[in-house]
């Protein structure tokens, strides 16, 4: 098998869709999630999943430059590693059975810091979304303060007809009672109970095999951008 080197410069092949081998690889990995098997098939992962994902991210750059230029879409920085952190997990399988990327504000580490965009491919589906999935306590306080004091701005986003059509219902975890420091009669009381603020769309696996995935992903991210921007403004 000829080894395909990963690019060390910011030049990637044009994105023409993910190959069918991408999903086939992850199905096989799920059945053989061990280092010996992965070592034998690492080049398959790079060829069928990693390099196409790097190209996909690079192809999204001009779209984000138009509607969210403050975000970093550097392919290598945005891509999550396939290796799982098993230090504190009862599940000791070493590899993720999906490939994912997270787009964050320039200069920020990817992960769960701030509000950003997330894409995820696994057998059966493609997911794309934006917002903040697991805000910490300090972040929640700042977001709730923003919702309480800038309620009209927040509602203009989440109650927008186009936003609702794309992302509602919002399946966010919530408190049973209004958080401490706010009165039950507050006009934004129901929104203040939420513990996460993330919207997204799950598309069928068949979508990933076409180059049109770039435009569709960009449209979804652009439609989520008012919420992403509101949340980041709140966290300053």
> Is 7 among the domain residues?
no
Q: pTM here?
A: 0.92
Which structural domain, as residue segments, surrounds residue 146? 20-235
For residues 172 and 194, the answer to whether their CB atoms sit within 8 Å is yes
Q: Is residue 13 part of a domain?
A: no
pLDDT at 93 over 90: yes
Q: What is the overall mean pLDDT for the chain?
A: 93
Number of structural domains (the chain) is 1
How confident is residue 88, by pLDDT bands cut at 50, 70 and 90? confident
pLDDT (tens digit per residue) in 171-218: 999 999 999 999 999 999 999 999 999 999 999 999 999 999 999 999
The pLDDT of residue 111 is 66
Distance CA 203, CA 219 (A): 13
Residues paired with 196 in a beta bridge: none
CATH number, residue 165: 3.30.930
Contact between 228 and 117 (Cβ < 8 Å)? yes
What are phi and psi for residue 163, nearest 5 degrees?
-65, -45
Pair 212, 131: CB distance under 8 Å: no
Within a domain: 112: yes
The residue-averaged pLDDT of 75-85 equals 94
Q: What is the mean pLDDT of residues 49-54?
A: 97
For residues 207 and 203, what is the distance between their CA atoms, to the nearest angstrom? 7
CA distance 150 to 162: 21
Pairing assessment for the beta strands 125-132 and 116-122 based on DSSP bridges: antiparallel
Task: Judge whether residue 7 has pLDDT over 50.
Answer: no
Asked if residue 11 belongs to a domain, the reply is: no
Residue 6 has pLDDT above 50, yes or no: no
Domain presence at residue 5: no
Residue 127: the pLDDT is 98
∠ CA 105-96-55 to the nearest 5 degrees? Answer: 50
Average pLDDT value for residue range 134-144: 95
pLDDT of residue 3: 44
* Rg of the chain taking only CA atoms, in angstroms: 19
Would you state the pLDDT for residue 9?
Answer: 40
């Amino acid at each position: 098998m000829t080894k395909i080197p990963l690019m060390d410069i910011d030049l990637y092949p044009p994105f023409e869709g993910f190959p069918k081998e991408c999903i086939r690889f992850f199905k096989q990995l799920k059945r053989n999630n061990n280092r010996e098997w992965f070592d034998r098939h690492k080049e398959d992962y790079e060829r069928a999943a990693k390099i196409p994902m790097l190209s996909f991210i690079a192809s999204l750059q001009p779209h984000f430059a138009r509607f969210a230029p403050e975000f970093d879409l550097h392919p290598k920085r945005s891509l999550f590693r396939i290796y799982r952190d098993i230090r504190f997990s009862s599940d000791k399988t070493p590899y993720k059975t999906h490939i994912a990327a997270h787009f964050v504000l320039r200069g920020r580490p990817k992960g769960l810091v701030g509000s950003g965009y997330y894409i995820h491919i696994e057998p059966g589906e493609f997911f794309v979304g934006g917002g903040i999935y697991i805000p910490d306590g300090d972040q929640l306080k700042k977001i709730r303060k923003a919702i309480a004091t800038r309620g009209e701005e927040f509602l203009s986003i989440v109650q927008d007809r186009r936003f609702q059509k794309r992302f509602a219902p919002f399946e966010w975890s919530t408190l049973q009672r209004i958080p401490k420091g706010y009165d039950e009669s507050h006009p934004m009381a129901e929104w203040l109970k939420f513990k996460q603020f993330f919207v997204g769309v799950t598309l069928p696996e068949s979508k990933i095999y076409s180059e049109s995935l770039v435009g569709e992903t960009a449209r979804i991210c652009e439609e989520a951008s008012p919420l992403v921007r509101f949340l980041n403004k709140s966290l300053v």
